[in-house]
Structure 1
């Protein structure tokens, strides 16, 4: 389907220019869709005394780098996550996946860091309590078999070297 194209002599309707009507005459008795504007537009009135959702800029405790001062949180921001809780969870997972070849060392570190992270997240200034608990659980569940495996390897090698092998 093709549409007819206007020829070079075809005229297109032009938009109205101030006071000159467009291709269609205005309706009788109607000036336009908008009320007439009188005078110069006024700016919005100042909003002094209206409290906003944020504290004033001068009340925010920032250092030169733009970060809040240590130990102070700006309202509305979530608390920082404890690094020890994250490390406890990561070491607990590493202990589950490959702690047997590291003789249970990641599991022991997960237990130690998990207890330190529980102490750090107790008062609520840091988040990560759940990660600390998960690291503790993973560490405790797998630290006992790892310690038993380490003792068996160590004492097995010592006893094997100390006792002579009978020859037939």
Structure 2
């Protein structure tokens, strides 16, 4: 038995034009394990944190812990440093906005009762010194 030849029919093959047209590469030309060109690395440098904001937060915590023993001195310092920190952050673009605001809030919450207590102690002691009670 004679078998017909196998293979493409020459009449069915596409005609090639001259000069040959460039063939687009496949979408993923690199195979597994092929060398890859490195991508450029970008280093993002963060702004430093404002030291005044950190100090404001620390003094407000000290004012909270010390309570009325310091007559609100730590709270007043925390408020002053908090305002200075917000100005510093606004002008220089440093970080620490949240710490400065937290120091301000705790400082103001603590400074009002401490100032009232201090006023009450000073005025009460002064009135007692001027007009002693006879018990």
TM-score by length of structure 1 reads: 0.54
- Once the 2 structures are TM-superposed, how far is the Cα of residue 78 of structure 1 from its aligned partner? 1.1
| Structure 1 gap segments, 5+ residues each | 1-46, 55-74
Q: Distance in 1 between matches of 2:134 and 2:79?
A: 44
**Which of 95, 119, 122 pairs up with 2:87?**
119
Consecutive unaligned residues in structure 2, runs of 5 or more: 1-36
**Gap change, CA 1:164 and 1:149, over 3 Å in 2:** same
Q: Which residue of 1 aligns with 2:71?
A: 103
**C-alpha distance in 2 between matches for 1:164 and 1:53:** 78
Instruction: Give the Cα separation in 2 of the matches to 1:164 and 1:76.
Output: 69
1:150 and 2:115 aligned: no
Distance 1:99 1:122 in 2: 31
Task: Kindly tell me the number of residue pairs found equivalent between the two proteins.
Answer: 100
Q: TM-score, normalised by structure 2?
A: 0.66
Candidates 51, 75, 83, aligned match of 2:51: 83
